[in-house]
Amino acid sequence: QLQLQESGPGLVKPSETLSLTCTVSGGSINSKSYYGAWVRQPPGKGLEWIGSIYYSGITYFNPSLESRITMSVDKSKNQFSLRLSSVTAADTAVYYCARLGATSGKYFFDSWGQGTLVTVSS
Amino acid sequence: SYELTQLPSVSVSPGQAASITCSGDKLGEKLACWYQKRPGQSPVLVIYQDDKRPSGIPERFSGAKSGNTATLTISGTQAMDEADYYCQAWDSSTVVFGGGTKLTVL
């Protein structure tokens, strides 16, 4: 059974860079059928897609965050990562990694990590 | 940018049917899916490709689409169905979520 697990600091200072890693087990990240993706939910707010990365390294980002996002994939470790720069309190959220279908008609999330709370505060 | 619109809240009595809608420009030409999100838990896919139910999702969950509006219906709503529900679609290589609907089972 596919499992995804987020890891990274739970506290980040304003203006610094948030870094998270998603480790995938029970399946390979080296798949043409799926993207790795990040979704976040600020306290009291809705779900927000951050971005997606294909096994080849091709990325797609939320236009509202694009200038601050870097995503990468490490196939040898079955991991993908997110870096969000110049964070503010508005970036405080539960961050989820998830698997997103990459073929026509399958652009939905079928597996999710448990989520990790990242707080931006000095 | 593409937007999906949901009502903020819906209330239903136990045992009754709950309908949650999601509308968007040209949504009729796209595929919609739905997630259930309980506090402190990860989202769960309950409907994909407009009307398909993943394995393990109770039959009381169903999806439909008419024109540019997708609808999630929960028949015989139970207290455990109280949650936030989000629709999602794919547009120009980006993922779009609706704003979410809080379902209250009174």
Determine whether the interchain pair A46/B45 forms a contact, defined as Cβ–Cβ distance below 8 Å: no
* A41-94 residue pLDDT tens: 999 999 999 999 999 999 999 999 999 999 999 999 999 999 999 999 999 999
Going A85 to A91 to A97 to A103, the CA torsion angle's sign is: negative
Angle at B35 between CA B62 and CA B102, to 5 degrees: 95
Q: Say if strands A116-120 and A11-12 run parallel, antiparallel, or are unpaired.
A: parallel
Tell me how far apart the alpha carbons of residues B92 and A20 are, in angstroms, rounded to a whole number.
Answer: 26
Question: CA separation (Å) from A115 to A8, A10, B12, B94?
Answer: 11, 11, 29, 21
* Whole-number pLDDT of residue A29: 85
**Mean pLDDT, range B75-81, rounded to an integer:** 97
Q: Which residue from B1, B37, B95 is facing A52, i.e. has the nearest CB?
A: B95
Helical H segments across chain A, by residue range: none
Q: What is the pLDDT of residues B88-101, one digit of tens each?
A: 999 999 999 999 99
Kindly report the nearest CA distance between residue A50 and chain B, in angstroms. Answer: 9
Quote the percentage of chain A above a pLDDT of 70.
Answer: 100
- Report how far residue B47's alpha carbon sits from residue B56's, in angstroms, rounded to the nearest whole number: 11
